[in-house]
């Protein structure tokens, strides 16, 4: 899988445009010690300058990710704040049995992190720069209103494999690039274990689906298991609710999310 040679320039211009159109002072980014957040951080610093970028490190338990994320931010000259979210998680769990299931608690962790990011966004007049990539977005492999919530997604049109290529161009530390991808929703959790395949194989499937290949054609072309390919295709279809504006029952002449047809920059002064 290739990366457009001017991808970094396009993304940096996109970051500048989104911040300027919102009248914001900069961006805040949740730093996990993973390649997605590290790449997003590096792009934001290059686009806006280190003074306009702020990192939040939001662990739920002791992890090597804390030191990795902190060290990378220091290399780039970005100020950070660390907040242990475990007392907040405990308060929710003490007050309700809704979060007793491991996955429910993992989603809770993600939504608490996004709440803290938006809290910082409010007091600083910063936008929240999301760190999701195209592979995650297509599969719905994120928490709705958690790590899936942000003001804009700089690397949202890059497959995970392409993020690695860009990270290498941006000189992201090798310890980050080689670290197994994880959302740290619980101890020992990894993306590829959840997905049942590695990102290299996954992205081949996703790119072929993007180019209208059938499940059968992908299997015959790649020799991958038909059931695995069908499972990935199903994940895309069943997660569409995560990628669109919440459904609105149409009653009026023009309806938000259906045919209102507004875009960023619509009301930009000439």
Domains and CATH numbers, the chain: 7-192 (3.40.50.620)
What pLDDT, in 10s, does the model give residues 82-95? Answer: 999 999 999 999 99
Q: How many whole angstroms separate alpha carbon 40 and alpha carbon 263? A: 23
Q: Which residues contact 219 (CB under 8 A, 6 or more apart)?
A: 225, 226, 229
Greatest pairwise CA separation for the chain in angstroms:
54
**Pairing mode, strands 126-128 and 79-82:** unpaired
pLDDT at 142: 95
The pair of three-digit structure tokens given for residue 242, joined into one six-digit string: 């995560």
The pair of three-digit structure tokens given for residue 264, joined into one six-digit string: 């960023």
Q: How many whole angstroms separate alpha carbon 194 and alpha carbon 218? A: 22
Q: Which residues contact 122 (CB under 8 A, 6 or more apart)?
A: none
pLDDT at 256: 87
- Stretches where the chain sits below pLDDT 70 are 185-186, 264-270
The span from the first CA to the last CA of the chain, in angstroms, equals: 40
The pair of three-digit structure tokens given for residue 259, joined into one six-digit string: 């045919």
């Amino acid at each position: 899988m290739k990366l457009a040679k001017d991808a970094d320039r396009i993304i940096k211009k996109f970051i500048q445009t989104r911040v300027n159109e919102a009248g914001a002072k900069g961006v805040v980014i949740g730093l996990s010690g993973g390649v997605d957040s590290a790449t997003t951080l590096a792009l934001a610093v290059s686009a806006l300058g280190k003074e306009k970028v702020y990192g939040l490190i939001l662990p739920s338990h002791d992890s090597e990710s804390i030191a990795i994320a902190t060290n990378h931010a220091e290399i780039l000259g970005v100020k950070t704040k660390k907040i242990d979210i475990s007392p907040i998680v405990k308060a929710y769990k003490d007050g309700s049995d809704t979060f007793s299931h491991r996955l429910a608690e993992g989603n809770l962790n993600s939504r608490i992190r996004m709440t803290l990011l938006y809290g910082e966004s409010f007091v600083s007049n910063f936008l929240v720069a999301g760190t999701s990539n195209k592979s995650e977005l297509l599969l719905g492999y994120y928490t709705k209103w958690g790590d899936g919530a942000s003001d804009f997604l700089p690397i949202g049109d890059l497959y995970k494999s392409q993020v690695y290529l860009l990270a290498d161009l941006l000189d992201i530390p090798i310890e980050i690039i080689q670290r197994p991808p994880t959302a740290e929703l619980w101890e020992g959790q990894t993306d590829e274990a959840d997905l049942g395949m590695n990102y290299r194989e996954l992205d081949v499937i996703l790119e072929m689906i993007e180019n209208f290949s059938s499940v059968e054609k992908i299997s015959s072309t790649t020799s991958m298991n038909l059931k695995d390919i069908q499972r990935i295709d199903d994940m895309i279809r069943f997660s569409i609710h995560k990628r669109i504006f919440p459904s609105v029952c149409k009653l009026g002449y023009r309806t938000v999310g259906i045919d209102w047809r507004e875009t960023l920059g619509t009301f930009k002064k000439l």
